[in-house]
Structure 1
Amino acid sequence: MMRESTISSLTLDINVSNVVIVAGTRTPAPSAPPGLLSNELFAPLMTTTLLVGIVFSVLGTGANIVTITVYRRLGFADTSNISLTALAVSDVFVSITSLISELALLLLISSIPGIPFTYEIFVPISASAHVCFSRVSALITAYLSTERYLCVLLPLKIKSLITPKRTFAVMVVLFVAGFIRWPSDFITFPIRWRHFPSQNRTLLGALAATDRTALTLRVFNQIYYVFLLPPLTFSVVVVCTILLSISLHRSRVWRDANKSVNTASLTDKAHPQQSKEAKAVKMVITIATVFIIATIPSSIHLIAVNIAPGFDVGGRYVKIWAFTGAIYNIVDCMNCGANVIIYLNMSSKFRQATLELFSRKGRKK
């Protein structure tokens, strides 16, 4: 969740032992002032971080595939199922694109000879896509929070407006809004064959374009993906989560004041819809809270990139930039995988459908 230069936590110009990684070989890099992270420490630390990231990327992918399968079995008559399925689809691609970037950089750091490409090609292919899908997930989370709060505030009116078809249309719009940048990255960072005289090799790479169109697109992407979407989605989620929490607390106080302990279960049975709504609100609050916590590392990283000189690709603190970027990629994937745990703990229908899904697969074996 970052700017152009933070298009991924992993880019070609990361120095490992004062070398630039290019297709499994090591070429001396231009001299630069030492950063805070030594060359000797960076390589093993980055390798370990990438391996951990790969594990969480795989887990995040698997967890969200299970989520999509379960909600497909539950059906889409409930509009919340549509929104949560869309969130799972986006999170699958957040995890997959992170996995591709991590595997690519790990492969190049390992200095395996004969690799016909540089890491540059993964900037538009996977790193940019990771940013876009992260934005989509943020937009859907903001929508879920807003929808649930409006349902609490104006239940009858909002429920009549939110239909499965309209919800599906909104999800399509959110995917387009979050993903609109990706095609432009193949213009601002075109993939092409590049010749490296020091190795006497031609490798598939990419180079930042400097023409007017590319520069204009780069400015637009920075404004839209750095200064507009992240603050907007984060603010909406925070505000709606606070309002939902207040509403839930007031509802609990009112219920406690109007029923005795002995009649609590009877009251819940008499008002099953209220109990269902309360559970839905709690689940959305939990999803939003996890999102807020998971967004903090990327927000700190983004602020540092914009205010700290040298904390960028090619800068003095490129190693710290790369390492912290890899860390928040891990947090992104943990966030993607956490939702399935929330559903299992807070949705009896989801839990039952999941148990049936795996028990059926077990019987088939």
Structure 2
Amino acid sequence: MYVNLSEEDNITRYPALDQMTDNPFHLWEDHSKGSFLPSGIWSDEQFYIISLFMNFTSQIINNCAIIANSLSIAVFVKLGFSEISNISLTTLAVCDFTMAVLYTWGNLCFWLTYLKVRLPFHSANVSYFIGGAQWTFLSTTVAWITAFISFERCLCILVPLKVRRFITPRVTFVAMLIIILLTFCPSFFLYIRYKFVWVFSPYLNRTILNTIPVNNELAILFEKISFAICGVIQPLLAFSIVLICTLLLVVQLRKISSWRMSVTSPKSQQVQPAENPAKGSSTAEARISKKEERLVRMFVAIATIFIVSYIPTCIGILCSVIFDEFNMFNVYKRLFIVSSYILSLGQPISGSVNILIYYKMASKFRLIFRRLVRLDRQTQERHELQ
């Protein structure tokens, strides 16, 4: 489909198409009145400098996330998927890796346009709908995977004997697929509200690919419903589940530590022998093994980092709900873009730090990792001889 820019109706419906430039920040813009901030909150030069700095900083962090999650995926593949935790952590690493790649794609389009490379598409709009939107939905996928991990660990502590019967590797694998389908796949419904068109740009003197909104009541209604469910309810609900489950895990870990100290203390051994967990003990502290306790501590560390890194995202979601014009296509677009750069730094940081937690707290992961990067050649040689 081609858009004829000489038609006044198209210029009115799709603003700025007649002034198409190679500016990477050039998006649809609504200069409506009544804003709580002036449209010129930053000058063009200030906005360029801020965006360039944030773009460069975010790309460095995303490069770290790509490397870290690539190594994590390789280690988990070697460990196998017989354990439930390996399946969920591998899915988490794959999502973090994909998010870092999508972010890199958006930054690449930005820099190519900034360097005056004439791309056959509008870099800002197209890279948002092929990459940026998927990144946003994947962040919700990561939130729900973390929520599943936290909830599963809570069950392992509260009802350890029963949970092993119905949470199996197969059930975990199916759960990961369902989470991806319900959180990531809705990003493709975005194209009901927006569509790709070929637009002739007088500035570039060529036809380029761009996106335009579909202005019918059904598409607008569908966009509002999708935003409410996928953009607000799902991420906030997942964050709440992670927060609640993490608090429960921390409380239970403290109880477990207190119980172990009371059992192993000299006074308790002199007064009475330690209670045998296999003989009538009904407390979760007595039924959880030290191996499971270490695993729970690792998941608590992962969930804590996620909570800290996801708080800015929740703040951004609330701002989008409270202020209708706080988005990429209205009067606050510059504030939204800079805020998005800042808020999105938490996800790659979390994805980069997770590998350090695995290495520190998981002995099997640490062993395979050292073999993979050849940090322990003697261990590798002994393994090959066996």
TM-score (norm 1): 0.85
Q: Judge conservation of contact 1:297–1:328 (CA < 8 Å) in 2.
A: yes
| Correspondence for 1:280 among 286, 295, 298 | 295
**Comparing both chains, which one has the higher relative contact order based on Cα–Cα distances under 8 Å and sequence gaps of 6 or more?**
1
SS at match of 1:312: coil
In the alignment, structure 1 residue 41 sits paired with structure 2 residue 56: no
Partner of 1:355: 370
CA contact (8 A) 1:24 1:113 kept: no
Residue 325 of structure 1 corresponds to 340
Alignment of 1:150-189 (within 5 A): 150-189=155-194
Aligned partners of 2:267, 2:371: CA distance in 1, in Å? 35
Which of 283, 294, 314 is equivalent to 1:299? 314
* Contact 2:120/2:208, CA 8 A, preserved across alignment: yes
RMSD: 3.0
Contact 1:25 1:113 in 2 (8 A): no
Preserved contact between residue 63 and residue 337 of structure 1 (Cα < 8 Å)? yes
Aligned residue pair count: 342
CA distance in 1 between counterparts of 2:76 and 2:206 reads 50
> Is the contact between residue 370 and residue 376 of structure 2 (CA under 8 Å) also seen in structure 1?
no
Query: For the residues of structure 1 that align with 2:326 and 2:315, how far apart are their CA atoms?
Result: 12
* SS class of match (2:215): coil
Whether the 8 Å CA contact 1:193–1:204 is kept in 2: the answer is yes
Q: 1:28 & 1:164 partners in 2: Cα distance? A: 46
Q: Percent identity?
A: 28
Tell me what 1:130 maps to. 135
Letter in 1 for 2:180: F
Partner SS state of residue 181, structure 1 = helix
Structure 2 distance, partners of 1:182, 1:105, is 22
Q: Flag the 1:215–1:71 CA change in 2: closer, same or farther, 3 A.
A: same
The CA distance in 1 between the partners of 2:172 and 2:289, in whole Å, is 22
Tell me if 1:114 matches 2:118.
yes
Q: 1:26 to 1:91 in 2, by over 3 A?
A: closer
Q: Check 1:143–1:42 CA distance in 2 against 1; reply closer, same or farther (3 A cut).
A: same
Mapped pair 1:228 → 2:227: no
Contact 2:63–2:100 (Cα < 8 Å) also in 1: yes
Q: Specify the code of the residue in structure 1 equivalent to 2:289.
A: Q
Shift of 1:285: 0.7
SS of residue matched to 1:210: coil
The match for 1:74 is 79
Alpha-carbon distance in 1 for matches of 2:92, 2:180 = 10
Contact 2:262 2:268 survives alignment (8 Å): no
**Max radius of gyration: which structure?**
2
**Contact persistence 1:54–1:103 (CA under 8 A):** no
Measured after TM superposition, the shift of residue 314 of structure 1 is 4.1
**Secondary structure of the structure 1 residue equivalent to 2:345:** helix
Residue aligning to 1:6: none
Q: Verify the 8 A CA contact 1:195 1:203 in the aligned structure 2.
A: yes
Residue ranges of structure 1 left out of the alignment (5+ in a row) = 1-12
The aligned residue for residue 35 of structure 2 is: none
Please give the alpha-carbon distance, in whole angstroms, between the structure 2 residues aligned to 1:309 and 1:239: 30
- Determine whether 1:338 maps to 2:353: yes
- Using the alignment, how far apart are the partners of 1:26 and 1:228 within structure 2? 30
Partner SS for 1:207: strand
- Whichever residue aligns with residue 324 of structure 1, its letter is S
Report the TM-score, using the length of structure 2 for normalisation. 0.80
Instruction: Measure how far apart 1:181 and its partner are.
Output: 1.0
